[in-house]
Structure 1
Amino acid sequence: MSKSRAGVPPARAAACGSWLALAAMMMFAAPALSQEDRSKARPSAEGISAERLQRVDAFIDAAIDKGQYLGAVTLIARHGKIVSWKAHGKRQIDAPDALDPNAIFRIYSMTKPIASVAALMLMEQGKFQLDDPVSKYLPEFAEVRVFTGGTADAPELRESKRPLTVRHLLIHAAGFTSGETTPPAVLDLIERAELNRAPDLQSYARALSKVPLAADPGARFSYDGVNTNVLCRLVEVWSGQRFDRFLQERVLAPLRMKDTGFTVPVEQRHRIVQMTSSDATGQLIPARSYEGVEAGVTLNPYPSGAGGLYSTAADYLRFAQMLLNGGELEGVSLLSSKTVALMMTNQLGTLEPPQLEFRPGEGFGLGGFVGVDSARRGRLGSVGDFGWSGAASTYFTVDRREGLIAMLMMQHLPEDSPKAPPRISGQFFNLVYQSLVQ
């Protein structure tokens, strides 16, 4: 994942419109699920062993006690009922306050599935089809070129073999970058475009359209936030609204995700979890990239659907439950069940040549991973489960076969260091699934 293009580390952003400030005050007025409203469902009533479920808590507590992580919120729900919602550890390194279950997290790339739902809602309204060329709505992408050699100052280019489509954006196959094989000259050119300084998504898309592709559209999966940000610009064109306003009015407000937004009101910022990292010895420290950056401000000047949202476990549960329900929650219908099924179907077979996985045992749907082979994956789960993660160690999965939702929310930027703490999401999901007895 490219941190600079996906919105990590954050930068101070230009002020949003007055309507957004008012919306933010209303959104964060109260938690979506108060502690009093927590489900009292017994795990055994939902086919989960309470004894086995304790292994989840013990594992998370052990990681925190070892000093690997500061704190975590875990939330597990089955058949529409919360069976476990726990806060572990602290909110700040140098403060004794225990972490609250309603703590606010920067969810970064867990914004992407929400942005994808926003786009698919407009598909259901007939605004576009998946394989429409992007240039039909954004003419600046009509003549995309592919880098074949040369330097950033004198690139050699050719015409792309096929048009860039909306589907390519949703499945991260647009060719903007090509993972570890991306030519350094292309990386240099995309950095020169200064996308993170774009004041809005329109400017972002126009700047990006001038950068050559690293690969042909539809040729390979290459995860990068630029795909989603262009998709969000399309949402603006299709809807006639700023992306953040559309998201608030059509997704967040209907789902009553009151603690989710691109900013956090000043009076609620005490709920934001401190961002941590590790030094060369493995010691837990405040993340250096956050020095001097006020928690709660927008992470980019533009509303980034690639990674710009703050949220809570309780709020994200409402979004995940809507997906598990087939697009509906408490009488509010965002998507049809057929669209959700398509979203959770591996799309990589549409690439040329077809690709079965982007990592062992996992394909990619319209905005998140899709389990395709449990044996190759090497962790417990189901074929067809869906989810994604965020750069600061937030994770979720929706398993429609098991009626299961599981979330692990932390605020830690992993370091590529021999002393860095191990990633714990795999063990977390294993422990959740081993608790299922029916």
Structure 2
Amino acid sequence: MNLRTIRLAIALSALASLPLAAQLPSTPPGAAGFDPHRLEVLHRTMRGLVDEGKQAGIVWLIARDGKIVDFEAAGWRDLEHKLPMQKDTICRVYSMSKLVTSVATLVLLEEGKVLLDDPVGDHLPELKAMKVMTGGTAETPQLVDTRRPVTIKHLLTHTSGLIYDFDGTDALHQLYQRADLWSGTSLKDFTAKVARLPLRHQPGEDWSYGINCDILGALVERASGQPFEAFLRDRIFGPLGMKDTSFDVPAGKRARLARTYRHDPAGKLVEAEPMLGTWPEAGRGLASGGAGLFSTAGDYARFAQMLLNGGELEGRRILGRKTVEFMTANHLTALPRPRHAYNPAMGFGLGVEVRMEQGQATCLGSVGQFGWYGAATTYCQIDPQERIVAIALAQHFPFNQHKLFERFANGCFQALTDQGAATAVEPAGGRTAASTPKPTGRAARP
């Protein structure tokens, strides 16, 4: 073997040993306050969902103080071809995209390009004259003027009155369905369609889950002067080393993409067509700020750790500490019921739910933890009190069937054995949000 061949072999060996993407460092569970034997309870629970035919596959990751303490995968990313779910499997994270879009919006806020009380129409003129639907039918809707303009804060908090098209059959939903929102490929076209649709309620007067972050994506594009996907790449994904996160999946990575499944009438898992046009091929779908991203557990954990650290990871600052504190406060305090519609224990901040109390919660966790979920049963919770990032990615419709989220949360938190919250330490990636004073202006209990 000549010297050139030896050098080539060494180079190829080094290349093969490189991770597919940057990853948080790891530590033994016991060193981070987790009981390894109790973590096995979580493992059995997750694998049981697969073995019982309830989920095709699941990948999950738990980090504490910036270090991974549990990272496992079970089941299949492709049942038909018996391809296993793996740690680097690429998944559709759907509405976990909203956290990323909200951070992008707050980057522009920090730079003085937008303000929370800016009318959205100042940045997207086509949305200046929105109406509210008060009755009627899809053919003859009864509309009234808004009493105040829709603002950027209304979009971040889901209080604008915009809705989704897939979660109802009433006259307003029929109008949204007829608009064919997801068929285009540009955010400009998407916004033009939305401009012709009414709101469910007056801006700022109720909480309604909807296409708010898709409009924010268009706003980021317009205010920054960059295509939305380029802004995310340059300002978030690149700095954080999120090499597998994008609105499409390159051909060379597509073998790692998980298929999405549902149960047929007989209870068998069968492939489900993606929602909202989330196709992996470049140019086929929309850069949907509300639901369009593909990612991995490792990539998304880096993004979540950045938020837990107060806006910074490994020396790369995305947001200021006070911005993250403000983002993760409850911003529904002006509503008669300062909680979001899906969980009476949870308020809502700027793009994230926030756990406000324990008494109405249905699974283990901490007051102050924040995060969100995705339609294909994907989960992210960030706990400043315990300094934990918890990610679970299935690819299954309908959302959270078989209560995967509650089972995962209970399995994660029951494995903690230290006193945790009283002794926050500096993590590998920077300061935790828990190591800084939390804001005191959160909502009182109703």
TM-score range, shorter chain: 0.7 to 0.9
Out of 322, 325, 337, the position equivalent to 1:338 is 322
Alignment match of 2:179 (pick from 183, 193, 196): 193
Deviation, 1:294, is 10
Q: Specify which of 408, 416, 421 is matched with residue 436 of structure 1.
A: 416
The question of whether the paired residues in 2 share the 8 Å contact of 1:269 and 1:295 is answered with no
Task: Indicate if the aligned counterparts of 1:30 and 1:259 stay in contact, CA closer than 8 A.
Answer: no
Q: 1:40 offset after TM fit, Å?
A: 4.4
Which residue matches 1:119?
Answer: 105
Aligned to 2:332, which of 348, 351, 361?
348
Aligned to 1:364: 348
The offset of 1:134, in angstroms, is 1.0
RMSD (Å) for aligned C-alpha atoms: 2.4
Query: Does the aligned pair in 2 maintain the 1:273–1:411 contact within 8 Å?
Result: yes
**Match of residue 426 from structure 1:** 406
SS at structure 1 position matched to 2:215: helix
- The 8 Å contact of residues 277 and 412 in structure 1, kept in 2 or not, is answered as yes
Superposed counterparts of 1:149-164, under 5 Å: 149-164=135-150
Contact 1:395 1:425 in 2 (8 A): yes
| CA distance, structure 2, for counterparts of residue 148 and residue 300 of structure 1 | 36
Kept in 2, the 8 Å contact 1:39–1:81? The answer is yes
2-structure distance, mates of 1:190, 1:165: 21
Match of 1:326 in 2: 310
Once the 2 structures are TM-superposed, how far is the Cα of residue 213 of structure 1 from its aligned partner?
1.4
Q: Secondary structure at the match of 2:249?
A: coil
Tell me if 1:285 matches 2:270: yes
Letter in 1 for 2:269: L
Distance in 1 separating the partners of 2:64 and 2:257:
27
**Partners of 1:54 and 1:392 in 2: how far apart?**
25
Amino acid at match of 2:402: P
1:309 is matched with which residue?
A: 293
Give the drift of 1:209: 1.3
From the superposition, tell whether residues 77 and 252 of structure 1 become closer, same or farther in structure 2 (CA, over 3 Å). Answer: same
Q: Which amino acid aligns with 1:277?
A: R
Distance 1:181 1:302 in 2: 20
Contact 1:362 1:370 in 2 (8 A): yes
SS in 2 for 1:349: coil
Per-residue deviation, residues 82-122 of structure 1 (Å, max 9, x unmatched):
11111111222123333221111011111110010001000
Task: Say whether the 8 Å CA contact 1:178–1:214 is kept in structure 2.
Answer: no
Aligned to 1:45: 31
When normalised by structure 2's length, the TM-score is 0.84
Q: CA deviation at 1:185?
A: 2.4
SS state of the match for residue 359, structure 2?
A: helix
**1:80 maps to which of 59, 66, 89:** 66
How far apart, in 1, do the equivalents of 2:37 and 2:156 lie?
40
Per-residue deviation at 1:372? 0.7
Q: Counterpart amino acid of 1:341? A: E
Give ranges in structure 1 of 5+ residues lacking alignment.
1-28
The count of residues paired between Structure 1 and Structure 2 equals 399
In structure 2, distance between residues paired with 1:326 and 1:231: 22
Work out whether residues 300 and 308 of structure 1, in 8 Å CA contact, stay in contact via their aligned partners in 2. no
Which residue is 2:395 aligned to?
Answer: 411
- 1:134 and 2:120 are equivalent in the alignment: yes
Structure 2 gap ranges (5+):
1-17, 419-446
Q: Contact (CA 8 Å) 1:147, 1:186: kept in 2 or not?
A: yes
The Cα offsets for residues 358-390 of structure 1, whole Å up to 9 and x where unpaired, read as 322011111121101112012111111011111
For residues 355 and 61 of structure 1, do their structure 2 counterparts lie closer, same or farther at Cα, with a shift above 3 Å needed? same
Aligned pair 1:31/2:20, yes or no?
yes
Mapping of residues 95-244 of structure 1, within 5 Å:
95-177=81-163, 184-224=170-210, 226-244=211-229
TM-score (norm 1): 0.86
**In the alignment, is the contact (CA less than 8 A) between 2:245 and 2:295 conserved in 1?**
yes
Shift in CA distance, 393/178, structure 1 to aligned 2, threshold 3 Å: closer
Residue 54 of structure 2 is aligned to residue 68 of structure 1 = yes
SS of the counterpart of 2:129? coil
Could you tell which deviates more after superposition, 359-368 or 141-150?
Answer: 141-150
